[in-house]
Structure 1
């Protein structure tokens, strides 16, 4: 390849891939369709391959287009991050930071960490994305998310990211206070209960699946499955379901007088880690946040 693509080529291609059509992409980029089509042809000529298949229904990416799209997203995001850091140096601004995590972090350490971070760096634009680590990893890999926190199966660590263990969280079974099985001390006594179980098969969810497979097969009523904490709490409190949560989440949202932890000690614990892109150096803001996160997790009563 004699020449590298221009930034304008990458931006145009990214928008077309996101929009699914040249017309919609041209509208977003405030360009004419012929001008955008010329840019795409120049990009394909530069790379010496076809990236897009055009039809009346829109565009689809070729195999080469899919591979190039992933790299182009990362390159553009890295350029944005680099420009942000230069702007911070030149104009004494404080830039941005995007963090992703699950509900366990939201209900435990995040308020303290975020408050301390914002007190130290009040001008940073801090953005939070809540979700399971499996849904956050694409954003970490392409640079849209600076740091993500979640549980990781040590037998299946994610690829393309740096991993730093933060804490181990033991798990427990919760029910509403007054549930007829609230004093059960053995899993097999819960075979006929109504269960709400994780939908995801990532991180500690996979550990639960692996270690409790025999019990899961003996549950009489097919479990309801969801990763939603709100749905889970509602079903536990209002419909007598049982569910499995991190012990640190057994007293969330001032529900101490409504929830009870069953006296069962045979559940696994999960390793929670912070991850970031292996391709990208942490920004100053991300490093500052990570220092506070480590310290808070170290002293939190998991």
Structure 2
């Protein structure tokens, strides 16, 4: 039978990576440096590969070490989750759930989802991360998030995920009330517009770059990139920035009252396809499954294509 690393060896390896050196890891784990060095050598011997290169400046991962580090981190994450679930069962509480959402969910159905979830699981610890779905992928893969919701596009590498389509939502170009470009009728009139868009190298906003002249050669101002909805609202409502938003946002209070929709937007922008994803090879906790069911139900009830006046 192939040798399997001991849990302590994985913990030592992971702590050395996190701390940046064997000395720092030994101090953090309250062990001697020789003891940690011996544990690492045993791990490398049984795996038949050098994982770390040691120097006066600290440690550097080899290619084998980089590959093993990803798996080692996932193993510890899953063990911690398993231990946590058992602890919660023993304490008669309800565990925890961590998920990521794009900001559209945060300003539309999130409050109702949490409210209904808490009716049956009031003690469950909930952790929420807001970002574009493409930005959330690393946190899904390394176990920090159970699932995520956002826009899906063909360029996103999702082969290792289970995908559940949720709804389609039309997008629009929005700016402050009385924006000087509010009545433009052609893409050419947007050539020198000031743009504020999410920061992503894939996904919906990356896809629409072929439809909107964010970087027109005649534009004197480069786009401002941010995933913060607070920053977007502040800049768009108090200056001449334009941004791309799902129409459903503008049907919500605090958005429709201060923003207007450019009439040209519907002709330029493709529809956004929203979905829910979670890792194919990692089982979901009962808390995560129940939270997912709440999101599915509330997505079905909400009007994602409102008529904007």
The verdict on a shared fold, with TM-score over 0.5 as the criterion, is yes
Q: Which residue of 2 aligns with 1:76?
A: 76
Q: Go from structure 1 to structure 2 and tell me whether the alpha carbon gap of 1:224 and 1:253 turns closer, same or farther (over 3 Å shift).
A: farther
Q: Which residue of 1 aligns with 2:152?
A: 152
Q: Which residue of 2 aligns with 1:30?
A: 30
For residues 23 and 253 of structure 1, what CA distance do their matches in structure 2 show? 54
* 1:193-231 residue CA offsets vs partner (Å, 9 max, x unmatched): 222233312211122123336x75365233323123222
Give SS of 1:222's match. Answer: coil
Give SS of 2:148's match. Answer: strand
For residues 219 and 80 of structure 1, what CA distance do their matches in structure 2 show? 54
Q: Which residue of 1 aligns with 2:271?
A: 269
* 1:125-179 residue CA offsets vs partner (Å, 9 max, x unmatched): 1111222223321221122211111212134442322111112121111111111
Q: Go from structure 1 to structure 2 and tell me whether the alpha carbon gap of 1:157 and 1:273 turns closer, same or farther (over 3 Å shift).
A: farther
Q: Which residue of 2 aligns with 1:295?
A: 297
Q: Which residue of 2 aligns with 1:223?
A: 222
For residues 248 and 218 of structure 2, what CA distance do their matches in structure 1 show? 26
Please tell me whether residue 193 in structure 1 is matched to residue 184 in structure 2.
Answer: no
For residues 2 and 49 of structure 1, what CA distance do their matches in structure 2 show? 14
Q: Go from structure 1 to structure 2 and tell me whether the alpha carbon gap of 1:135 and 1:29 turns closer, same or farther (over 3 Å shift).
A: farther
- The answer on whether the counterparts of 1:150 and 1:203 sit within 8 Å (CA) in structure 2 is no
For residues 193 and 141 of structure 1, what CA distance do their matches in structure 2 show? 37
Q: Which residue of 2 aligns with 1:61?
A: 61
Alpha-carbon distance, 1:69 to partner: 0.5
Alpha-carbon distance, 1:232 to partner: 2.2
- The answer on whether the counterparts of 1:226 and 1:232 sit within 8 Å (CA) in structure 2 is no
1:46-195 paired onto structure 2 within 5 Å: 46-195=46-195
Q: Go from structure 1 to structure 2 and tell me whether the alpha carbon gap of 1:4 and 1:277 turns closer, same or farther (over 3 Å shift).
A: same
Aligned positions, number: 301
Alpha-carbon distance, 1:236 to partner: 1.5
For residues 87 and 219 of structure 1, what CA distance do their matches in structure 2 show? 61
For residues 121 and 59 of structure 2, what CA distance do their matches in structure 1 show? 44
Alpha-carbon distance, 1:55 to partner: 0.8
Q: Go from structure 1 to structure 2 and tell me whether the alpha carbon gap of 1:27 and 1:105 turns closer, same or farther (over 3 Å shift).
A: farther
Q: Which residue of 1 aligns with 2:288?
A: 286
Unpaired runs of at least 5, structure 1: none
- The answer on whether the counterparts of 1:152 and 1:202 sit within 8 Å (CA) in structure 2 is no
Q: Go from structure 1 to structure 2 and tell me whether the alpha carbon gap of 1:218 and 1:297 turns closer, same or farther (over 3 Å shift).
A: farther
For residues 253 and 56 of structure 1, what CA distance do their matches in structure 2 show? 58
- TM-score of the aligned structures, taking structure 1 as reference length: 0.92
Greater CA drift, 196-205 or 58-67: 196-205
Greater CA drift, 269-278 or 24-33: 24-33
- TM-score of the aligned structures, taking structure 2 as reference length: 0.90
